[in-house]
Chains A and B, each alone.
Chain A
Amino acid sequence: MLKYILIPLLPFFGFLIAGLFGKYLKERAATVAVGGVLGAFVFAVSAFIDVANGTIIDENFYSWILIGNLSVNVGFQIDQLTAVMLMVVTFLSTLIHIYSIGYMHGDKGFSRFFAYLELFTFFMLVLVMGNNFLVMFVGWEGVGLCSYLLIGFWYEKKSAADAGVKAFVTNRVGDFGFVLGMMLIFTTFGTLDFTDVFAQATPQLAAQNIDLLGIEVGIVTLICLLLFVGATGKSAQIPLYVWLPDAMEGPTPVSALIHAATMVTAGVFMVARCAPLFSLSHTAMNVVAVTGAVTALFAATIGLVQNDIKRVIAYSTISQLGYMFLGLGVGAFSAGIFHLTTHAFFKGLLFLASGSVIHALSGEQDMRKMGSLRRKIKITYAVFLIGSLALAGIFPFAGFFSKDEILWSVYNAGSLGRSLWMVGLTGAFMTAFYSFRLIYLTFFGKSRMDHDVEHHVHESPPVMTVPLMILAFFSITIGFIGMPLIPHANLFANFLAPVFPHVQHGGTDHGLEIGLMIFSVLVAATGIVMAYVWYVRDTRIPDKLAEKFSGVYTLLLNKYRVDELYNYLFVDGLVHKLAGVLHRIGDVKIVDGAVNGVARLIGQASERGRKMQTGFVQEYAFIMGLGLVVLIGMYYVVK
């Protein structure tokens, strides 16, 4: 049992040591940290083998909250889904830890960085291993915290600190849904344990309705939608995606680990975990699919025109997460998780490679100030190219297999599926275009670098390039574990089959499937060629187009002004302005005004009364005497 507990605990110990003794350890903190995650990886592999051999682990350690009928344990479960996630998380975390040794070298917050990274790994592992909703939520919020800390890692920069708060608060909006979803689950099922909840998730339950502000809503639908609100926050889907591009303020390894490979996929994982619930509600599934598809396209359009190298990749992450949800939404749960896995590798690779570019250019992130780098940083160029091919979905790179499995499932999902397939394919075209726009702007053409920067361009040290090459290797090969067409060759789906309810999604028409595959590769290739023509052959085209369609261009460049809108509506309007008004009028004028008013009234009354107190004993005595006379007089009069 111990080895399973050690999976999250080793990184946690790493965090404690690096955090508490960082001052003394200095850069040795990295050794501790890498040791922690590497240990976790080793145990994760061992757990994976156990699961593959048919052992499902589900263990409670102690009772966490026990009140009345509410009983929540701290407990872990490792089933097939968790095992896959464990592998992805620990492996990428290890590589990125190693990479960070080179990337963060010389930073004054070196040990702090590794402490946070370890803490993140711990929480992420708790998230995927929790055997009930509340423990999952601990990890869920915990990774949010680490994300906040790491985005704001360079806290002296105001934009970084702002971005951290933005990420946390936006996620909190999503958590609002998650928490309400948990409550509804508890009142419906009387428990928060995954096993018990899913055992009770039957079609009879799905038929039950509850009254929501006069509208009859299926109880399962409502639960799923609330949980999905949480997922949109963490996995950066419309409408809560706004924090992710800003999160690029953090150091690049953070972007790779947290904002590409692992944390942002937590929402996908959660929906997949709740597959038994989601598959009971058509409405919820459709909402998931449509949100995913729209986000995939929406983020891709923004990605077309961004100039910051990390932002392009950030928008592509949002877009790819959209694909994952699209897959989940049509019931292709294992395809969604498959895309999550491949995406973790090639997107992690892209971020780390972009980090290598930024490192080479002494911190420059603007692609307009790059160009012709392919001969100067060859390894980085090569792995970047591999990552982009995988992202674009070119055979036989990893992205091809997973994206096509999703698109194929979507294509087979009825009439809604067909239209979503169109959306997905358009998105795929754009993905290929912008990822190669990035390649061409960065590595081809003429150098547009500042002179000083150009002078210092250098390839990154091996501690950074080796992880890159490992990731590149997997970006090429990992797709083959999910081979389509050949019976029983889709190892990935077979492995996950016990976790997911059987939903009919794959069609059986192999001819059509092959045809669609070729078609989508062609679409992607068109995108690549188009990017080549625009950004290498005739670089005037983009400017001309931007001029011609300046309205659309500016809108895209400004990310549809959603940030401004949210800022205006929620941050300024709903929070700060309203708070100011409430404070000035509500508290100061009305509530305190009433209190002070009463006090003033009493004060004024006593001001009058006070005048009678002259302080002369003789006057008092006189009045006393007078009063006596009056009283005696009254006595006689009355008598």
Chain B
Amino acid sequence: MLELIPNQLGFPLLSLMIFVPLAGAVILLAVRDARAARWIALLFSIAEIGLSVPLLANFDGSIAHMQFGESLPWIKDWHINYRIGVDGISVLFVGLTALLTTISIMVSWTAIQDRVREFMIAVLFLEAGMIGVFVALDLFLFYIFWEAMLIPMYLLIGVWGGPNRLYAAIKFFLYTLVGSVLMLVAILAVYFSAGGTFDVLALMNHPFGHTFQMWAFAAFFAAFAVKVPMFPFHTWLPDAHVEAPTAGSIILAGILIKMGAYGFLRFSLPFFPSAAISWTPAIMTLSVVAIIYGAYMAFAQTDFKKLIAYSSVSHMGFVTLGIFALNSQGVEGGLLQMINHGVSTGALFLAVGVIYERTHTRMIADYGGIAAKVPVYAAYLLIITLSSIGLPGTNGFVGEFTILLGAFQYKAVYAVIASLGIILGAGYMLWLYQRVAFGTVTNPHNEHLQDMNLREIAAALPLLVLVFGVGLYPNAAFQVMHASTENLIKHVQAKAALAPVAAQAANALLGQ
């Protein structure tokens, strides 16, 4: 049984992490000057990184319990509490959120010229929401953060996006909202079924009936699968990415879509283990389909950002594949791959943003031969491409390999098919790189392309460090996860074993 270990630091670290960006947003309301707005936003986002240092430094990876816990009664009549805490599953995402938000602000420095203050407010508000999602341990609180996060993202796409931004923003919003509403229904059902509690830790130990689990799992699945996005709920992602400004894309790819997979780990699996096990073959199949299908889609794209968006679909297929393999290699690989994907896809979108700011085109055909003009940029893009391909020595390899190993132990055929995705991945990414960087310059606009400036290099550098750092010493990340994932896997297996008869009956119904 997981416990909430109260925060020992003497100051409410996690609350500060939620409220510091909010405070930044409030202060920005009073600022008129665009320049000042940028600096203030940057300062607050760096402060957030500063806060994540004691978080990561004091985190105890040897225990599975929730740490840095805070609990305050909020709405007593409905037993709603302000309960937050982190464990090995969520703690790294808090850090990643802080880092990617700062990078997003840096890449928007000159790219955003219109309504700068409002833009920065939206980004900081978004950051608070994302941190809240990762630390909330009360379902009601979680749902509030989950929905609150939608709004700034919607605005980022809808206000600062590309020409077709309204379509993309509304599509994004509706897609995620439909999923969320189903989840809300399930949250209420869980609340009443468990005798009136939203406490996540208590709910993990509540024995739900199998039929109830099947329905509730499906409803949660709707929300999380859209967010991941799993095939066939993925079509909002390419549109949203294409239209979103660079900062929006980085956050969307880096953090937002991780929340689906995070939701599976935090809620779906521990709440409804026997349903999860019944659903597993279907989800594994969908994951494999996503891997192959996403890769194929990437081949057909002519738009730089769309290609990366579809590669995200493929990579997130690996994540769900690993998570639902439900063994330690799979789950930890899945978690690591979430971080990897945040880093490498974030870096890819950064690369697109850098070049888009200069050329104002996302069409791959408009590039070609730029390696000779912008060598630093070409080297940066190459490293990120390799990370995305999963070359050993970079972060991508460790994640993919461990996931495949996990899937192989669950059922070899999934790993075999998923491995084909790696071949395809190398194909479309290198083909992309070739079309962008190699050859001769065909587009006269690219003749006088400026290479990356110091600000851009500074924004990219932490990501590069992570690419190689995680690639060479992934244990640093794995150590944090071990206790929590082991506990999760044991918990799921033990709890699922309680209702084997019901599970069999349900499996018979599903025809498995």
Contact = CB atoms under 8 A, between A and B. Distances in A.
Q: Do A and B bind each other?
A: yes
B453 to A, nearest CB: 17
A580 B299 CA distance: 8
B293 A582 contact: yes
A68 B391 contact: no
B29 interface: no
B420 to A, nearest CB: 7
Nearest to A183: B408
Interface stretch (A138-146, A317-325, A334-342, A409-417): A138-146
Interface string A121-137: 00000000000001001
Nearest to A108: B372
B434 A148 contact: no
Contact of A169 (B328, B404, B412, B426): B426
Contacts of A586: 293, 297
Nearest to B415: A183
A172 B416 contact: no
A145 B391 CA distance: 8
A63 interface: yes
Given A156-B440, A172-B423, A142 B332 contact: no
Contacts of B300: 576, 579-580, 582-584
Interface string A162-205: 10110011001101100110011011000000000000000000
Contact of A176 (B293, B391, B420): B420
A168 to B, nearest CB: 6
Contacts of A173: 423
Contacts of B372: 156
B371 interface: yes
B21 interface: no
B404 A179 contact: yes
A68 B475 CA distance: 12
A176 B328 contact: no
Contacts of A575: 296, 299, 424, 427
Contacts of A552: none
B327 to A, nearest CB: 7
Contact of B438 (A65, A161, A175): A161
Nearest to B437: A155
A543 interface: no
B122 interface: no
Contacts of B301: 583
Given A156-B439, A187-B409, A67 B328 contact: yes
Contact of A67 (B333, B404, B424): B333
B487 interface: no
Contact of B416 (A158, A169, A180, A578): A180
Contacts of B430: 148, 164-165, 168-169
Interface in B377-423: 386, 391-393, 397-398, 401-402, 404-405, 408-409, 412, 415-416, 419-420, 422-423
A179 B419 contact: yes
B327 A180 contact: no
B473 interface: yes
B419 A176 contact: yes
Contacts of A582: 293, 296-297, 300
A66 B427 CA distance: 30
Contacts of A450: none
B285 interface: no
B478 interface: yes
If over half of A's interface residues share one DSSP class (helix, strand or loop), that class is named, otherwise mixed; here it is helix
Contacts of A580: 300
Contacts of B298: 579
A631 interface: no
Given A67-B478, A180-B416, A586-B293, A172 B434 contact: no
Contacts of B175: 595
Nearest to A173: B423
Contacts of B424: 575
Contacts of B405: 70, 183, 186
Contacts of A158: 438-439
Nearest to A63: B475
Contact of A165 (B174, B234, B333, B434): B434
A65 B402 contact: yes
A251 interface: no
A138 B393 contact: yes
A595 B427 contact: no
Contacts of B328: 67-70
Contacts of B486: 68
Contact of B398 (A65, A176, A179): A65
A503 to B, nearest CB: 31
Contacts of B274: none
A141 B391 contact: yes
B329 interface: yes
Interface string A36-78: 0000000000000000000000000011111111100000000
Contact of B235 (A65, A67, A591): A591
B408 A172 contact: no
A348 interface: no
Contacts of A215: none
B198 to A, nearest CB: 31
B409 A155 contact: no
Interface string A582-605: 111011000110010001000000
Nearest to A74: B472
A579 B419 contact: no
A482 interface: no
Given A145-B391, A152-B438, A168 B293 contact: no
B163 interface: no
Given A137-B392, A183-B408, A591-B232, A64 B473 contact: yes
Interface in A300-320: none
Contacts of B332: 67-68
Nearest to A158: B439
Given A155-B438, A587-B297, A65 B474 contact: yes
Interface string A505-549: 000000000000000000000000000000000000000000000
B262 to A, nearest CB: 19
A219 B297 CA distance: 36
Contacts of B426: 168-169, 172
A180 B329 contact: no
A599 B391 contact: no
Given A67-B402, A156-B438, A173-B423, A145 B386 contact: yes
B431 interface: yes
B369 interface: yes
A156 B296 contact: no
A176 B434 contact: no
Given A161-B434, A599-B174, A583 B297 contact: yes
A142, A580, A592: which has the most chain B beta carbons within 10 Å? A592
A257 to B, nearest CB: 20
B500 to A, nearest CB: 24
B296 to A, nearest CB: 5
B174 A65 contact: no
A187 B235 CA distance: 37
B415 A70 contact: no
Given A155-B438, A579-B297, A66 B419 contact: no
Contact of B327 (A68, A141, A152, A165): A68
A68 B326 CA distance: 12
6 contacts: A64-B472, A165-B434, A183-B404, A576-B299, A583-B297, A599-B174
Given A158-B438, A183-B415, A582-B296, 15 more contacts: A68-B329, A70-B328, A70-B329, A138-B392, A145-B391, A165-B430, A165-B431, A169-B427, A176-B420, A179-B401, A179-B419, A183-B404, A575-B296, A575-B424, A575-B427
Interface of B: 171, 174-175, 232, 234-235, 293, 296-301, 327-329, 332-333, 369, 371-372, 386, 391-393, 397-398, 401-402, 404-405, 408-409, 412, 415-416, 419-420, 422-424, 426-427, 430-431, 434, 437-440, 472-475, 478, 482, 486
What are the 9 tightest A-B residue pairs by CB atom distance, in nearest-first order? A68-B328, A579-B299, A583-B300, A161-B438, A138-B392, A155-B438, A579-B300, A183-B408, A172-B426
